[in-house]
Structure 1
Amino acid sequence: MVSSEHRDWLYVAIPIYFVMLAGSAAWAYKRMERMNHEGVSDKLSSHYLGGRSFGPLLTAGTVFASLFSGYTVVGIPNEAYKLGWYAIRWMPTTALIAFGYYGTGLRLRRASMVMTSVIYLAAQVIALKGTFNSMFEIEADANWPVILIMSLILVFEWVGGLSSVAFTDSIQGLIMLISFIILPIVIKANFGGWSDLDPETYPKPSFYETPSADQQWKFWQFSMINFSFFTLPHFLQRTYAAKDLVSLKCAYSVVVVGPWITMFVGIYIGTVGVQMLDGADVASPFASILEEVMNLGGFSKFIAVIAFTASLAAIMSTADSLIIAVSQLVTVEVLYPMVKTKSPNTLAWMGRFVSFMAVLVALLVGILWKSGISDLGAIQFPITMQAVPAFLFALFATNKSTDVHPWCMAASAWIAIAYVFGIYFGYLSNHEDPAPIDAGVTGVTIQVVSLVLLESARRVIFPDPYEAETTKPLHTSDTKDEPQLLYPNRPAFDIPCTKRFGDRPLTPKDLWQMMEGVHEPITNVYFVAFMLFSVSLVTPLVPAGIPTSSTEDAVVVNGLPWWAFKALLLCIVPYAMSLYAVLRMPNKFPSLAEDSVLEQPGLIIDPDLVDMSNEEMGRRGSYDEPNTMASQRRSSIRKSLQGLGMVGSHEMRHSSRHLPSNDSVKHLHKLVQDDETESSHFDQRNDEVAVLYKDTDITA
């Protein structure tokens, strides 16, 4: 709680911050209107994806603020204050979050062409309520401040869509970055740091003890569970909203480096804060630590005010990201198939209604939930983990032998979710001394076993799910009225609308073909194995409770217990691997504009897998209309390739290939290169192939 003599600065800082957010929303609204007016993007794409135009700084800023949320700023220092260096568990788990995000991001980006989120949003409501009420000495149970703030966040999202969210995220991320760089320096200069701690005088000497066997087991499970963060919708939105791969690489780099600036600092603040507060039992250790810093006055007080503002900003940044992600997911995947509305503008308004409902549900859960934010996370993280198998099987199945029927995926996921709720509420949450079981890790194990059994049974009963791939050509005109499915004979309610994506379904073979020539670390089994091993190695596998009654035998390194110092050193390995993997990623996907691609022997080009241009992705008269612009261009590309002797049609995929003549290659290359210098539109004649290649990558 901030004392009255220090609260005057907050009365200035917080309103300034809200004015900045309002200005960001106004800017985002004008940006959306300009994109719609200029025909760059339709209402739906501009609202939910920012017109797919986020550059490196905006992409990195919004990803940073979305990942390093209110729990990073407030929760980790509080956890470190209460649990000591055991809070280091956040470092290896964030390494896996980064791995999951950059490991799947490129493939999701190439292929793009909810309940856990609502629970996560409710967690932000709890954090927001506790932080704001504590700041201004408002009664702890008072709900009106959080209702007012969530309403403002909702209005900002309504007005400016994802552009507003991303820009405010960047502001919030900058505030957090400044405070978490300078605050530990101020603490070190005035109160001492880790190297000044003495186990004999430290208020909580038990923190120097090695963790118990149960704690070590929970430490490892916690390290594994948050790999699932890449499946959260607000992270997926950023993958699709980035302008190009350079922007995504900047975001991935921030995710890899960010934990050392935020979570590492949070652990430092919490453990040094024990010395600052003499181990006092306080409701909000982070607020009490900042209060001590504010007592120093001058520049230190200014930084503490910035840190208070950062805590509020971090919670709000995650909340607004979750609101728009839930809105898009429910609107597009649930409401649209039910009502079949045609206008993207109508869908956008439906999305605003969904946003309102998401905020309402989150407020109810956040206000009525009495067990605290940690317990809410204890159920949210395990549920999120149950999305991982579906993502991995869908993205990385190599052929029909490793692909899985969607009904088997859904059934196994529901089995696992039922287990998670059952084990948590039936045992873990109400047992005084439960076994060290993580509902998410055990749940995903149950899900994989169920998936294997269900898919094996299905293949016996309904063999050969790939009938559609071996029947008549899927891109011919007589098949366009009926969707072609990998798994036919499905009821009408389970047939997705695919007209806006193309004339045939995306198979695992197609997806791997699109990714040829692209470095993907998650497809390297040795890289994955060593990443998991290096993260697991951070777990302090040591005899429990040493020292148990005295500190005479304690080994201390720069003020840290030896096992904590060792864990931090070992954390460097997975982060270094991640940084190396991110730097190796391409700045763009392979295209025919590159000599190295054109000169490949036996070149295979499938026009049906040609990337859509930004103009084709961003302009739609209705949500599910066929993409005529892309279909016409791909048809022209097919005819041109056949004329050049470069077979590219789907029905001839398995026929023999030959390398076209040098003249043909040069001619095709010239068409691409010449077009890169021209300004033209897609409404010209289809046989003008040079025009039709504009802003387009063609996979080989």
Structure 2
Amino acid sequence: MERLAFGGIDGIIILSVYAMIMLLTGWLAGRGRAKLHESLSEYFLAGKKLGLVALFFTLFATQYSGNNVIGYIPAAYRTGFSWLQSITFMTIIIGVYLLFAPRLYTLSRRRKFLTPADWIADRFRSNRVTILSIILMLWALCNYLLEQLVAIGQGVSGLTGGTIPYQWAVVAFIVVMLLYEWLGGMRAVAYTDVMQGIALMVGIFVLLTGALVLVGGNITTATQQIMEQQPEKVAVPPLETSINWFSMLLLVGFGAAVYPHAIQRIYAAESERSLKLSFARMAWMPLITTGLVFLIGILAIPLFPGLDKAGSEQLVGLLVNEVAGIHPFYYWMMVLLFGGIIAAIISTADSVLLSLSSMVSKDIYARFIRPDASDRKKILVGKVWGMIAVAVLLMIAWYPPATLYEIFVLKFEILIQVAPAFLLGLYWRRLAAGPVFWGMLAGALLAGMLTFTGYETVYGVHGGILGLLLNVLICVSGSFMVTQSAEERAVTDIIVGRVEPEASRDTGM
């Protein structure tokens, strides 16, 4: 990221204020809650009492990160108008949520789910299916957390003009994140998400306004300049690009919807009404966030013509510096914007870390090692192993190697393979554990093999989508071949159907 000419001490002041607010929020979220560190539900799911405002903003922070600004503006600059796909694939995530979230929420209340693996274990009653799904989801979480750590370091270093070096920036904000998460659990994460979401939205609006001022306030004129200078960026995309667009819609739509930290926010909702209202409001956010970011990237084309790929990656810093020079108001708003970007990245990182800790605590330690441990002990184990995971990822992020790109690419390709277990498993009673296991395994192996051999897309189709097609084929055809026992039919009738058991199975929460 381009270092800000106006950063320095101003950036340090803004980041210090953000850090203090986050720590204060964490303290307030945990104050007076005696059961917070004695109940898995209280610590990891805020007691399943997140109301409309907190739920909306924590869902917003889960779907959008500071990387959406830093990465999507250069992507729009390089790609042109075909980057409109970014709006559609952020919109389709909401559509996928609505396919399964209300039903999963109802079941999570009835069956006392804490983690995504609780659903899979309860539905399929198979250790190998549960373990494989845990591995795939933890892979995605570690991958996502690593991305956020690298982004925090680059963002803070850029905002302060290098006054705070990359490595120390990562360490400082990891400490802040760990402290407020330890103090307040999910409530602290959700409440800081409110602040971070507002800061990010305000900053995007101001950046767009400044970009419009720089191009003379006329989008039509800017578009005409693009048509004259780089007509390929307004032309109808070739067939392979269109196929790739559709592939990306499926990859991001299904992949992001089954993020473990996203599913846990479904569990944490105070009511089904709050959940549905939050999604109704989230349906507008792609236009307000990704849509505005897309416009900013388009406006940057005539402002900074001729940047190569490496140069375009510095575009946000270049544009912010230009906007900051318009007026002192824009100067301070741009400092606030970059503070908001850092805060948004942290808001994503803290959600991922909390989910990772809960899965280690509940799905590994409590399920397979010490089922009889107290909730306090389970929470402590989750916290400690969360810190260990951060320490390991920090060592990688300290000097991130170029080969991490392939790991980044594999995030959605691997995670999307658990989608059939949720979407098909919630509605189709015949779906059997064996085909689900072999489908997930085959899909993940195919996606990984294609990525690491250089075939990230085949005729525009992502390896993860090809893996998902193989996965679904095995799940569906295999389930038709398997004969369910009377006991298995009874279990699926209770879980998938609307038949209430005499006593709901306790998943150990």
TM-score band w.r.t. shorter chain: 0.7 to 0.9
Contact 2:206/2:330 (<8 A) preserved: no
The CA deviation at 1:269 is 0.9
The CA deviation at 1:217 is 1.6
Which residue of the partner structure matches residue 131 of structure 2?
A: none
Q: Distance in 2 between matches of 1:167 and 1:342?
A: 30
Contact 1:395/1:508 (<8 A) preserved: no
Structure 2 counterparts to residues 562-641 of structure 1, below 5 A: 606=500, 608=502, 624=508
> What is the aligned counterpart of 1:219 among 245, 254, 276?
245
Structure 1 unaligned segments of length 5 or more: list them.
Answer: 470-485, 487-504, 515-605, 618-622, 626-700
Instruction: For 1:417, give the aligned amino acid.
Output: A
> What is the aligned counterpart of 2:475 among 436, 439, 451?
451
Which residue of the partner structure matches residue 235 of structure 1?
A: 262
Contact 1:97/1:230 (<8 A) preserved: yes
Q: Distance in 1 between matches of 2:76 and 2:403?
A: 16
What TM-score results when the alignment is normalised by the length of structure 2?
0.86
What TM-score results when the alignment is normalised by the length of structure 1?
0.63
Q: Distance in 1 between matches of 2:396 and 2:464?
A: 21
Residues 1:218 and 1:372: Cα distance change in structure 2 (over 3 Å) = farther
Structure 2 counterparts to residues 229-308 of structure 1, below 5 A: 229-281=256-308, 282=311, 283-308=313-338
Which residue of the partner structure matches residue 208 of structure 1?
A: 234
Instruction: For 2:31, give the aligned amino acid.
Output: K
Instruction: For 1:212, give the aligned amino acid.
Output: P
| 2:446 aligned with 1:416 | no
Which residue of the partner structure matches residue 562 of structure 1?
A: none
Which residue of the partner structure matches residue 365 of structure 2?
A: 335
| 2:102 aligned with 1:106 | yes
Contact 1:59/1:250 (<8 A) preserved: no
Q: Distance in 2 between matches of 1:609 and 1:396?
A: 22
Residues 1:47 and 1:512: Cα distance change in structure 2 (over 3 Å) = same
Instruction: For 1:187, give the aligned amino acid.
Output: A
Residues 1:286 and 1:31: Cα distance change in structure 2 (over 3 Å) = farther
Structure 2 counterparts to residues 216-615 of structure 1, below 5 A: 216-228=242-254, 229-281=256-308, 282=311, 283-336=313-366, 337-367=368-398, 369-371=400-402, 376-397=407-428, 399=429, 403-428=430-455, 435-457=459-481, 459=482, 463-467=483-487, 505=491, 507-508=492-493, 510-513=495-498, 606=500, 608=502
Among all aligned residue pairs of Structure 1 and Structure 2, give the percentage whose two residues are the same amino acid. 21
Contact 1:49/1:241 (<8 A) preserved: yes
The CA deviation at 1:188 is 1.7
> What is the aligned counterpart of 1:197 among 219, 222, 236?
222
Instruction: For 1:50, give the aligned amino acid.
Output: A
Q: Distance in 2 between matches of 1:223 and 1:348?
A: 37
Instruction: For 2:54, give the aligned amino acid.
Output: L
Structure 2 unaligned segments of length 5 or more: list them.
Answer: 110-137
Residues 1:468 and 1:310: Cα distance change in structure 2 (over 3 Å) = closer
Q: Which of 283-292 and 196-205 deviates more?
A: 196-205
Which residue of the partner structure matches residue 28 of structure 1?
A: 29
The CA deviation at 1:116 is 1.1
Contact 1:427/1:434 (<8 A) preserved: no
Instruction: For 1:25, give the aligned amino acid.
Output: G
Contact 1:199/1:208 (<8 A) preserved: no
The CA deviation at 1:27 is 0.7
Which residue of the partner structure matches residue 207 of structure 2?
A: 183
The CA deviation at 1:240 is 1.3
The structure whose residues are more often helix, as a share, is: 2
Which residue of the partner structure matches residue 129 of structure 2?
A: none
Q: Distance in 2 between matches of 1:354 and 1:324?
A: 11
Q: Distance in 2 between matches of 1:82 and 1:374?
A: 19
Q: Distance in 2 between matches of 1:245 and 1:453?
A: 34
Instruction: For 1:241, give the aligned amino acid.
Output: A
Q: Distance in 1 between matches of 2:412 and 2:78?
A: 21
Which residue of the partner structure matches residue 94 of structure 1?
A: 90
Q: Distance in 2 between matches of 1:141 and 1:20?
A: 22
Higher gyration radius (CA): 1
CA RMSD of aligned residues (A): 2.7
Question: How many equivalent residue pairs?
Answer: 473
Q: Distance in 1 between matches of 2:391 and 2:60?
A: 26
